[in-house]
Amino acid sequence: MGALTVTVRSGARRTSYPIRIGRGLAGNLGRALAGLAGADRAIVVSSPRVWTAVGPRVAPGLSGMPVVLVPDGERAKHLRTVTRVHDALLDARVDRKTVVLIIGGGVLGDLAGFAAASFLRGLRVVQVPTTVVAQVDSAIGGKVGVNHARGKNLIGAFHPPIGVLVDPDLLTTLPARELRAGLFEVVKYGVIADRRLFTRLERDLDRIRAGDPDALLPIVVACARIKAHVVSVDEHETGLRRILNLGHTLGHAFEAITHYRRFKHGEAVGWGMLAAVAVARARRAMSAAEAGRVAALIDRVGPRPPIADLSAAACVAATARDKKVLAGTLHFVLPTGIGRTRVVTDVTGAALTRALRSLGTSA
């Protein structure tokens, strides 16, 4: 199968950009970049961990481009790391025609994207996502940023890339836990928008979890199409794009109160989706049968770090600092069925507490 292109319309740039998806695409990034950027200068930003895993696959196609390696992981997703990227860009003497080629997962894409957005008032970016979360979600849509000590992704911008190059074969380099964690985000897409994707996950999950590229490719394409549609309709998250936050309100709270040390992002989202399902069931907004299917698939994806020692009260307090709180009101994504959601503004702290306690958190 040749490369497939999904188009994202960017209102910020009054233009569009492609998501190119194909097995083996990462082996010829220089040619793909030339087709996207038409530029004679590019600099690669990656991390030591990612570069060790994928560098041998991608370096031959990069024609000697300079490579900058910076830390990644949620604990490195802060302004100090952004400054390290800025320093490297200065050392490399980049100019406004230089393209920043980001090769890595969601954290690296966010922080290096923010570094590019804030350097010389904005350098062009091409994303080469190397994790499931990045390929199906975070590399698409132009959100970039870093964490603040008081909350996740509170410092950032909308800075759409000029292109996203997705090679599912890169997912074979991931540790098993990293691959599993990303699949929770794929489940999210099935729940919010695509019953057929959800059914495919139920049917093919063993092959997908094993990292079979032929099983991974169609789910990456399905998620990319959903994300591209949502972002094209609502680039700046004033309406439809909020549905992408299913499971993230409490997922971000789990990450924040454990200081980004316990959970992979997708694992926290998995717990957050279960909490959202519990809220929906308590409101009789979702049938028991469909709620059971969602919970069963989340459990089949794999184990998640425990939450029994976490305080429900602390989790609920952390949601008050979530960026989805507007004028003191939390916009909460409520699943109403497989493939259906709605955004509500009347979920109380008490309702969240009950949902968390039903999952086993402490008082």
Q: Which residues are designated catalytic?
A: 121, 143, 185, 227, 237, 241, 245, 248, 252, 265
CA atoms within 13 A on the CB side of 144: 25
Q: Which helix (H) or strand (E) holds 87?
A: helix 79-91
Least Cα distance to 173 among 218, 228, 130, 112 occurs for 130
Give the relative orientation of helices 288-301 and 265-282 as an angle to the nearest 10 degrees: 170
Cα separation values, 316 from 279, 295, 321, 347, 352, Å = 13, 21, 10, 11, 7
In whole angstroms, how far apart are CA 271 and each of 86, 153, 197, 225? 35, 19, 20, 25
Closest of 120, 166, 234 to residue 23, by C-alpha:
166
Give residue 173's identity as a one-letter amino acid code: T
Q: Kindly report the number of other CB atoms within 10 A of residue 149's CB atom.
A: 8
> DSSP code of 137?
I
Q: Is 35 exposed, middle or buried (0-12, 13-18, 19+ CB in 10 A)?
A: exposed
Note whether 225 and 239 are within 8 A (CB): no
Asked whether the beta carbons of 355 and 279 are under 8 A apart, the reply is yes
CB atoms within 10 A of CB 257: 15
Residue with tokens 């994790």: 131
